Amino acid sequence: MAKKKGKLRAEFRKKHQGRVRKRDLTREFRDDVSSRIDDVEQGERLSGKGELTRRRTIAGADNASAGSDALQVNVRVDESQLTHGRVLSVHGLQSKVLADDGRLYACAVRQVLKSLATDQRGVVVAGDRVWFRTEARDGDGGQTARRADEVVTADGMIERIEPRHGIICRTSRGKQHVIVANVDAMLIIASAAEPGIKPVLIDRMLLTAAQCEIEPVVVINKIDLVDPVHLQSLVGVYASLGYRVLPTSATTGQNIEYLKAFLSNRQTALAGQSGVGKSSLLNAIEPGLALAVSSVSTENSKGRHTTTAAKLIPLEEGGAVFDTPGIRQFQLWDIQATEVAGLMPDLRPYVSGCRYPNCLHLHEDDCAVKDAVADGRIDARRYDAYCHLLEDDLL
């Protein structure tokens, strides 16, 4: 007996209401309802009670895939008629998808997925695993593609997005900006000079990695430009907390072989501000990538945005890396002020010793965290970074 298709109430983006009073009966008669649902396939219906409602019933939806993320409210599809692949990059309305058979497709996103109301800025991001319909282009010779810059041989339409794990995201204009998805590890790239190291940005990314259960590695690039002794205290703080800290140089090749071994058989994202050398490190690890790089501005010592979109790049020795655009601001997403101390390994052991269960460790009495700072058990610079983070973003 065939399994009965389910129904699911989902919230869609709010659209313009239009006329409140309908005075033109001829206009109303000529407006064909079917013209507004051209992109909806036969057998899928969107219905709602009342003209102004934002909630609709998706007939044929898979309730098992529906979670807190509206994008996971996917219409049940016949997977035997679809192709499975992974998104390499997103450029406007078009996504480059690498199918499991090695072919590269240029795909659009189904309208019903784009219409779902969500806190996210985009529907599809680099790293998403998707199911899509294919349509071969004229003159397709059956070529295969391994990298995002190779020739696209066919078009497609993304029908559904699989549930994500290991996402790296930030807050952007009040929405969740997912940078990449399905990540196992994150290399937090900083530079010893040109531009200078920003511990505040490193701390924010470490919190995001802890929240999403992603393994973080702090990489200090351009170590050849400074005396390593000047960074010893900063490296010692992170190393004492259990984080892996790796000084590198794309110019001299320092620790490049170690990075190459670490990236093997992993899905790893490189994140950091502009100009720290993310693309240069990838070129040193695998010279055949030939990623575009540029020098740091001589006027303000800041990097230029050479990488404009996140790209998933498969590696020859297994695994893949995400080359992401430079980040100058990294505002936390979905982290409450009371959760920050629990995500910091040096503050976490003292949180339960505070007098108040919702203690923010700022001005409260009988605070075990502040007592640990006064006794030298918590580094004062780390506590200052914690205070600035709460006061700037979360309070």
Report whether 114 contacts 97 (CB < 8 A).
Answer: no
User: What's the rounded Cα separation, in Å, for the pair 159 and 74?
Assistant: 8
Report whether 322 contacts 127 (CB < 8 A).
Answer: yes
- Output the CA–CA distances (angstroms, integers) from residue 199 to 26, 238, 336, in the order listed: 66, 10, 21
User: What's the rounded Cα separation, in Å, for the pair 155 and 163?
Assistant: 23
Question: What is the biggest distance separating any 2 CA atoms in the chain, rounded to whole angstroms?
Answer: 81
Q: Which residues pair with 191 in a beta bridge?
A: 221
Tell me the binding residues for Zn(2+). 354, 359, 361, 367
Q: Hey, what are 146's tokens?
A: 């391994």
Q: Hey, what are 325's tokens?
A: 């655009």
Phi and psi, residue 241, nearest 5°: -90, 0
Report whether 67 contacts 161 (CB < 8 A).
Answer: no
Tell me the binding residues for GTP. 221-224, 272-280
Tell me the binding residues. 221-224, 272-280, 354, 359, 361, 367
Q: Hey, what are 329's tokens?
A: 């601001």
DSSP 113-130: HHHB--SBS-S--TT-EE
**Kind and range of the H or E run holding 175:** strand 175-180
User: What's the rounded Cα separation, in Å, for the pair 26 and 87?
Assistant: 46
Report whether 163 contacts 149 (CB < 8 A).
Answer: no
DSSP 58-86: EEEE-GGG--SSGGG-PBP--GGGSEEEE
Report whether 276 contacts 189 (CB < 8 A).
Answer: yes
Q: Hey, what are 134's tokens?
A: 């294919």
